[in-house]
Amino acid sequence: MNIKTIQTVFSNTLLFFLLFLIPTSPLFAQNKDGAIHLPDTIPYP
């Protein structure tokens, strides 16, 4: 595997995490409108 292939696999994996795992993570509460909000344990400014 060359550098280009590694970069492509890394980018696709990162995109997968962002699109699928983060929205469905219990750390995030998903509202009815589909927007992702931070958990209430994080103090808002």
Count of the separate structural domains present in the chain: 1
Asked whether residue 23 is domain-assigned, the answer is yes
Given a contact cutoff of 8 angstroms between Cβ atoms, the answer to whether 19 and 25 are in contact is no
Asked whether residue 32 is domain-assigned, the answer is yes
Give the range of the structural domain holding residue 12, as residue numbers without chain letter. 3-37
Give the per-residue pLDDT at 35.
56
Asked whether residue 45 is domain-assigned, the answer is no
Asked whether residue 43 is domain-assigned, the answer is no
* DSSP calls for 1-45: --HHHHHHHHHHHHHHIIIIITTTSTTSEE-TT--EE--TTSPP-
Each residue's pLDDT tens digit, 1-43: 688 998 999 998 888 877 776 656 555 555 555 555 555 655 6
| Pairs from 17-21 (Cβ < 8 Å, separation ≥ 24) | none
Asked whether residue 44 is domain-assigned, the answer is no
Question: Can you tell me the distance from the alpha carbon of 34 to that of 12, in angstroms, rounded to the nearest whole number?
Answer: 23
Asked whether residue 29 is domain-assigned, the answer is yes
